[in-house]
Structure 1
Amino acid sequence: MSEHPTPTHEAAEPSGSDSASTPTSVTTGATSVVRALENAGAEVMFGVQGGAIMPVYDALYDSEIDHVTMAHEQGAAHAADAYNVVSGDPGLCLATSGPGATNLVTGLADANMDSDAVVALTGQVPSDMVGSDAFQETDTTGVTAPITKNNYFASSADTVGDDVGEAFALAGAGRPGPTLVDLPKDVTNAETDRDPGPAQTPETYTPQSEADEEAVAEAARAIENAERPLLLFGGGVVKAGASEQARKLAIDYEIPVVTTMPGIGTMPEDHDLCLSWAGMHGTGYANMAITHTDLLVAIGTRFDDRLTGGIDTFAPEAEIVHVDIDPAEISKNVHADYPLIGDAGRVVEQIDDELTAAPDADEWREQCQTWKSEYPMTYAAPDDEPLKPQFVVETLDEATPDDTIVTTGVGQHQMWAAQYWTYREPRQWISSHGLGTMGYGLPAAIGARFAADDDRTVVCVDGDGSFLMTMQELSVAVRENLDITVAILNNEYIGMVRQWQDAFFEGRHMAADYNWIPEFDKLAEAFGARGWRVDDYDEVADAIEEAVAYDGPSVIDFHIDPAENVYPMVPSGGANAKFALTEEQL
């Protein structure tokens, strides 16, 4: 990860001033907070005002940092998260004390699970009232300690700026993650003239960038001697900006590639070597390759259960080369025969430099192509059945540019968006992986829109249940006139729950039926966005064309087949090779 620039961002003069812009003048703890963010190069933040955070907001009044008021603090955290994933820079979110801070918790936990760099600033009651159960008081550092990379309780106006700068630098360094600074109101109101220094990590924070040379040599010999080598690209490849190096390794040595869901886009999915993503709902050919490889080179993955299924059946014939910047992930879930600790991009370069020959794997590559033919990602779409979600996703993909950014909520729609959209670049697929947060999609689309170039298309593929959880953020998209298209795959269920209930609970649909939800096209219009309802195949293309062309937020409510399920599917804890293609096979 690159370090963030020091003082490059200047603050605007008050409205109506003709003077040249100058950095925020440090007079209070709050202005020191803002100066620290400017020093770090912050450009956008997402938040919700409130009493305890008000001094910081007042200090933002004259800053050039763009503040986006969200409808809910959870939306602010998700927007900051997606901003980071798209831009590579830490995302910023703000909230007041008490319920404001606790409303950030879901978003921070999400960022923590997915190693996304998010910086949260929370207001707090005055220091002398902490512990007294004051109005809107919560032990924010205590609540968030398990779900942040580090958090801080600011104790002095003279040092609060340095606290914020360190939190910003630490969020994006090494293995990224969320950080938080809790800001008591007396600290932000107190006077100071101390200018915070540049954003930098603690001297004691020294993540290893290069792997041990002897270990690299041993891994390289294993790759050269493998008969069935397989590369596994995880989300850490994206975080490290290492897709170019990883692709080069695959192409130069003709090694097939599978990805994790967070790693989607690290290898172009239309490349012959790419077998797409593996795991519970991954492609059959990716799961077959993992099951039969004799050497799995895993880069930037934590081997979570949705990828591995049962650990005892995961890559059972393979030795494991595991590249990760976090030593805690090595052999945590899957034993590493060749542990390589370091930055993904640098370690891949080390491996590339050490390799002297490509593995002899012609038969293996042919076998991988055979599996592609045997287990294609296809679906039936009879005219006498309701609209199929896979068709909607494919049509959206065809109607939008190759570099379109896709955000999703969590559930069946998320899986279809991952399966039936062809991703060619990293930071193009933006979703909630480890925590599985319904409602992530819409605020993530807002964060992605602020991070992306103006000429890039942003599409949110959402479910009716997910959209219902954070739909209030549509008001933000309308207020900011954000050009985003929301495609709701509406099956009037919490679809993944319904699918599991059918498969494992004898079809008892307890609390999964959502036939009481509103008409989303009309709701969109009420918010001030454009709305469409689509029920039939012949309406799909025209609605998508109109929605994508509309310069502003648009919502298409696709009423899809409520009985459609996501396949392939590996039952929880099952063997990847024993994926089901129908409910009867579960």
Structure 2
Amino acid sequence: MSERATPVKPTEEQEREQSRETERPSDGGADAAGPGPNADGATATEPVTTGAEAVVRALENAGVEYAFGVQGGAIMPVYDALFDSEIYHVTMAHEQGAAHAADAYGVVAGDPGVCLATSGPGATNLVTGIADADMDSDPVLALTGQVPTAFVGNDAFQETDTTGVTTPITKDNTFSSDPDRVGSDVSEAFALAREGRPGPTLVDLPKDVTNAVTDREPDEPRVPDTYHVQEEADPEIVEAAARRIEEAKKPAMLLGGGVIKGNASDVCREFAIEHEIPVITTMPGIGSFSEDHELSLEMAGMHGTGYANMAITHCDTLIAIGTRFDDRLTGGIETFAPDAEVIHVDIDPAEISKNIHADYPLVGDAATVVEQLREAVETSPKAKKWRAQCQQWKSDYSMAYEVPEDEPVQPQFVVEALDEATSDRAVVTTGVGQHQMWACQYWTFTEPRTWVSSHGLGTMGYGLPAAIGARLAADDDQEVVCIDGDGSFLMTIQELSVAVREDLDITVAVLNNEYIGMVRQWQDAFFEGRHSASDYHWMPEFDKLAEAFGAKGFRIDDYDEVADTIEAALAYDGPSVIDVHIDPQANVYPMVPSGGDNGQFALTEDQL
């Protein structure tokens, strides 16, 4: 990759200083501030003097390198303190984009992403992104401005009860009312976002608190003494689970998003390979096990592979790790893994037997508990016939598709072409809809933290701002590709201006069918083809719109344009957008109707 004016993930102090001086763009605001002494000779090592400076010091102590946000009245003191900080602030076009960028940064980096917004509409615009992070257990710290404490409750200008609004969708939130405590509140919130089961936390910052004088340095980021996370599972249950695995004739491992968040991918892979157990993933668990390995059955659930769903339906022992068994995975609970004894590993005891009964409940850190199982399992299950059966299902329910030359471009072909043109470590972000499912099904994922999407909340518009956050978290040699839909892309397209301003090397492929495609598919299947409000034939020309933003625009209409266009877009040193006009009637299969039996998946509309 050629050198360009792109914010890079710093590794050494010298590199950080150099990148600020030579690479990062300057707009005369917070982004123009470099490290070291400012005009008054102040440095980051001097005592804090305001609550806002304590907030920023807390972020610095936590090792925060990037923050995503939008300026505003009540948050201005914090932004003023950021002016002298080495933290690089990425000004987003919309607060929702800031939350999604922070979310994706956290997914790829493994540390909490940070987003900022002002009070009132600034804070409420973060809500969708915070709720998304909460559903997917992604580590995010949100800092919101608030009206002065004396005005709280008086319906002041741009006042919203932010902590009240966000309590149901945060792991923890705090109304910080003491300037001597505000920095430590932020430190604690950062620690809570990443420890145990990750999730979003929020600190609401009244303007009088951030403006107030203090000489208190913030505490180091650590969780409260009352916060306890169980690391190891009950040894007796581990031993019982191990005996069950040894006796299994039809074992299967189900790896969820908690495997990746708990950095347990390696130990899970080793366990599966050592004992030759077929592996299935949930959608958040994509990348936890190499999909090119013969034991991989890929993703299960509503649009999972037929062979993954058959394995779940017929297994006698299901080793489920880091999954909450949501409805898109299970279909009807009564028909999910009906013959299996379930070994459920999860760090959150609230998830055990919440949806699917756990015969062997193993509460603890995923990597730690799987290591316990590795030590306890003495002999591999005798499952040669079962493995052969799983391979037969792979053949019977192949994900192959037709490519008629006289019909529009098939989306699967485009996804596979993008995969072929990029490295195994490329990071893929998506919006939500048909394009998301095609990306799951036809991109071969081999590494964790390379799949970044909205799972539980299903947030359209996630893909582009997520690509911005992912780009800043990823290594320089990792490509970042956003596979989006026309409806999703239009929801947050304004963030393309951010990618251009920051000169971020991302490639966006818009699978454009001029529909809200998944809605259209369901309308055809379940609503007699009545396309109420799903027809998007008024879509703009995205390649030309990209050029208006200052990005590089491309368009694909035919198969013979696919390879060369993708190559040119990936080679462009900056943000590029490919407007790919696909078959508007293409549908996502296999499909399990909502609440249906995973073993009775449909391969065509006639089977629904």
* TM-score range relative to shorter protein: over 0.9
Q: Deviations over 1:392-428 (max 9, x none)?
A: 0000000111110000000000000010000000100
Secondary structure class of the residue paired with 1:104: helix
Query: Is contact 1:530-1:554 (8 Å) kept?
Result: yes
Note if 1:94 corresponds to 2:113.
no
Task: Name the CA distance, whole Å, in 1 between partners of 2:44 and 2:601.
Answer: 60
Provide TM-score, normalisation by structure 2: 0.94
Task: Name the CA distance, whole Å, in 1 between partners of 2:492 and 2:344.
Answer: 37
Note if 1:301 corresponds to 2:323.
yes
Note if 1:447 corresponds to 2:469.
yes
Secondary structure class of the residue paired with 1:248: helix
Query: Is contact 2:307-2:390 (8 Å) kept?
Result: yes
- 2:20 counterpart residue number: none
- 1:281 counterpart residue number: 303
Q: Return the offset for 1:454.
A: 1.2
Code of the residue aligned with 1:120 in structure 2: it is A
Q: Deviations over 1:287-325 (max 9, x none)?
A: 000000000000000000000000000000001000000
Task: Name the CA distance, whole Å, in 2 between partners of 1:114 and 1:292.
Answer: 28
Gaps of 5+ in 1: 1-6
Query: Is contact 2:260-2:448 (8 Å) kept?
Result: yes
Code of the residue aligned with 2:455 in structure 1: it is H
Q: Return the offset for 1:437.
A: 0.2
RMSD: 1.4
- 1:63 counterpart residue number: 85
- 1:487 counterpart residue number: 509
Note if 1:509 corresponds to 2:531.
yes
- 1:172 counterpart residue number: 194
Q: Output aligned runs, 1:318-337, within 5 Å.
A: 318-337=340-359
Q: 1:456 aligns with which of 458, 478, 481?
A: 478
Query: Is contact 2:37-2:43 (8 Å) kept?
Result: no
Code of the residue aligned with 1:115 in structure 2: it is S
Q: 2:586 aligns with which of 564, 572, 579?
A: 564
- 1:34 counterpart residue number: 56
Q: Deviations over 1:466-496 (max 9, x none)?
A: 0000000000000000000000000000000
Task: Name the CA distance, whole Å, in 2 between partners of 1:323 and 1:23.
Answer: 44
Task: Name the CA distance, whole Å, in 2 between partners of 1:548 and 1:199.
Answer: 39
- 2:381 counterpart residue number: 359
Identity of aligned residues (%): 74
- 1:4 counterpart residue number: none
Q: 1:132 to 1:20 in 2, by over 3 A?
A: closer
Q: How many aligned positions are there?
A: 579
Task: Name the CA distance, whole Å, in 2 between partners of 1:80 and 1:289.
Answer: 36
Q: Return the offset for 1:16.
A: 6.8
Gaps of 5+ in 2: 1-12, 18-33
Task: Name the CA distance, whole Å, in 2 between partners of 1:152 and 1:235.
Answer: 27
Q: Deviations over 1:208-229 (max 9, x none)?
A: 0000000100000000000000
Query: Is contact 2:244-2:317 (8 Å) kept?
Result: yes
Task: Name the CA distance, whole Å, in 2 between partners of 1:220 and 1:524.
Answer: 55
Query: Is contact 1:23-1:35 (8 Å) kept?
Result: no
Q: Deviations over 1:11-66 (max 9, x none)?
A: 8225579x896436400000000011111111111000000000000000010011
Note if 1:158 corresponds to 2:168.
no
Code of the residue aligned with 2:235 in structure 1: it is E
Q: Return the offset for 1:132.
A: 0.3
Task: Name the CA distance, whole Å, in 1 between partners of 2:345 and 2:267.
Answer: 13
- 1:257 counterpart residue number: 279
Task: Name the CA distance, whole Å, in 2 between partners of 1:16 and 1:191.
Answer: 21
Q: Deviations over 1:116-142 (max 9, x none)?
A: 000000000000000000000000000
Note if 1:122 corresponds to 2:140.
no
Note if 1:385 corresponds to 2:404.
no
Secondary structure class of the residue paired with 1:442: helix
Query: Is contact 1:166-1:200 (8 Å) kept?
Result: yes
Task: Name the CA distance, whole Å, in 2 between partners of 1:13 and 1:349.
Answer: 45
Query: Is contact 2:44-2:85 (8 Å) kept?
Result: no
Task: Name the CA distance, whole Å, in 2 between partners of 1:456 and 1:337.
Answer: 41
Query: Is contact 1:123-1:184 (8 Å) kept?
Result: yes
Q: 1:550 aligns with which of 565, 572, 579?
A: 572
- 2:261 counterpart residue number: 239
Q: Return the offset for 1:517.
A: 1.3
Secondary structure class of the residue paired with 2:89: strand
Code of the residue aligned with 1:529 in structure 2: it is A
Note if 1:211 corresponds to 2:248.
no
- 1:396 counterpart residue number: 418
Task: Name the CA distance, whole Å, in 2 between partners of 1:100 and 1:16.
Answer: 31
- 2:28 counterpart residue number: none
Task: Name the CA distance, whole Å, in 2 between partners of 1:24 and 1:414.
Answer: 48
Secondary structure class of the residue paired with 2:492: helix
- 2:208 counterpart residue number: 186
Task: Name the CA distance, whole Å, in 2 between partners of 1:376 and 1:15.
Answer: 62
- 1:473 counterpart residue number: 495
Q: 1:12 aligns with which of 15, 35, 39?
A: 35
Secondary structure class of the residue paired with 1:168: helix
Note if 1:229 corresponds to 2:229.
no
Secondary structure class of the residue paired with 1:266: coil
- 1:370 counterpart residue number: 392
- 2:455 counterpart residue number: 433
Q: Deviations over 1:411-452 (max 9, x none)?
A: 000000010000000100100000000000000000000001
Query: Is contact 1:23-1:63 (8 Å) kept?
Result: no
Code of the residue aligned with 1:153 in structure 2: it is F
Task: Name the CA distance, whole Å, in 2 between partners of 1:177 and 1:453.
Answer: 24
Query: Is contact 1:24-1:34 (8 Å) kept?
Result: no
Secondary structure class of the residue paired with 1:182: strand
Provide TM-score, normalisation by structure 1: 0.97
Code of the residue aligned with 2:602 in structure 1: it is A
Code of the residue aligned with 1:271 in structure 2: it is H
Query: Is contact 2:546-2:577 (8 Å) kept?
Result: yes
Q: Return the offset for 1:533.
A: 1.1
Q: Return the offset for 1:538.
A: 0.4
Note if 1:580 corresponds to 2:597.
no
Task: Name the CA distance, whole Å, in 2 between partners of 1:240 and 1:129.
Answer: 42
Code of the residue aligned with 1:181 in structure 2: it is V
Query: Is contact 1:492-1:515 (8 Å) kept?
Result: yes
Code of the residue aligned with 2:583 in structure 1: it is D
Secondary structure class of the residue paired with 2:385: helix
Q: Deviations over 1:250-302 (max 9, x none)?
A: 00011000000000010000000000010000000000000000000000000
